[in-house]
Amino acid sequence: MKTYQNLKTELKEGILHVTISRPQALNALNMETMSELGAVLQEADHESVRAIILSGEGEKAFVAGADIKEIATLSKEEAAAFARRGQILFKQWEDFTKPIIAAVNGFALGGGCELAMCCHIRIATENAKFGQPEVNLGIIPGYGGTQRLTQLVGRGKALELMMTGDLISAQEAKNIGLVNHVVATHAELAELAQKIVSKILAKAPVAIAQLIKSVNAGFDFEKAGYEAEAIHFGECTTTQDFKEGTTAFIEKRQPQFKGK
């Protein structure tokens, strides 16, 4: 396996363990990490890899979203290109034809929740928290979250979560169908991920691949929702409110939104 700046990888008995590792920023997704998530998926497209378990470094965060400090400095053109690349990258993870388990070990917020939703199965420790707090920054989810959250939990709950920006516990995430299983400890999370993967790997790989393709075919990426999300996300990033939201986060204060 290659060496990555922000990912730790280990291939053990056909299972590729990928750990996002920027603990100083709660594993937030900067551009480099996004590009490494693309590269590692390409590497995983090899017969030696039969499944992926994705997690975050440490006991606090899976991924606390896109790197707000980095996105605050993007130009409009850079922002649009970055958003589109993110949508495509997350779709590649969703469409990967070997099982991917998200082992959510802490905060899964914004882009982190969106990344977990691209994985085929989500399990979590009870300290994990989920949410789409983009509204606090004056934007909307831009990596397919408006679509995938709605698919997983239904329209009413998805809209409530996205409009309030509320964070929910792992147990509540399980109650609404965002997470499949919740365990107490990080050791149990690793054990459960391994157990689920082992069970799947005992089945016929072609059938598993065809299952993933069949399920995903019913949630067509070309459908209007993803396109609308990209357009409306782009519109939000041009507002003064987006500048205010990201600046307020960096300055550790509440944002004052003006509606423009």
Give the footprint of ligand DAK on this chain (CB under 6 A): 25-26, 28, 64-69, 71, 74, 79, 82-83, 107, 109-111, 133-134, 136-137, 139, 142, 237
Shortest Å distance, C-beta 65 to ligand DAK: 3
Pick the catalytic residue from 32, 134, 160, 227.
Answer: 134
Closest CB to ligand DAK among residues 16, 64: 64
Q: Which is nearer to ligand DAK, 36 or 67 (CB)?
A: 67
**Min dist. Cβ of residue 156 to ligand DAK (A):** 22
Cβ neighbours of residue 40 closer than 8 Å, sequence gap 6 or more: 2, 4, 7, 9, 16, 18
User: In the bound complex, what is the minimum distance in angstroms from residue 224's beta carbon to ligand DAK?
Assistant: 21
Per-position DSSP letters for 142-189, written without gaps between them: -SSHHHHHHHHH-HHHHHHHHHH--EEEHHHHHHTTS-SEEESSHHHH
Residue number closest to ligand DAK, CB atom: 110
Residue closer to ligand DAK (CB basis): 10 or 59: 59
Output 4 or 249, the one with its CB closest to ligand DAK. Answer: 249
The residue annotated as part of the active site, out of 36, 57, 94, 114, is 114
**Closest separation between CB of residue 113 and ligand DAK, Å?**
8
Angle (CA) 179-100-194 rounded to 5° is: 80
Hey, what are 259's tokens?
Answer: 């509606």
Tokens 């905060």 -> residue: 107
Strand partners, 15: 12, 51
> Does the active-site annotation cover 251?
no
Q: Report the catalytic residues.
A: 114, 134
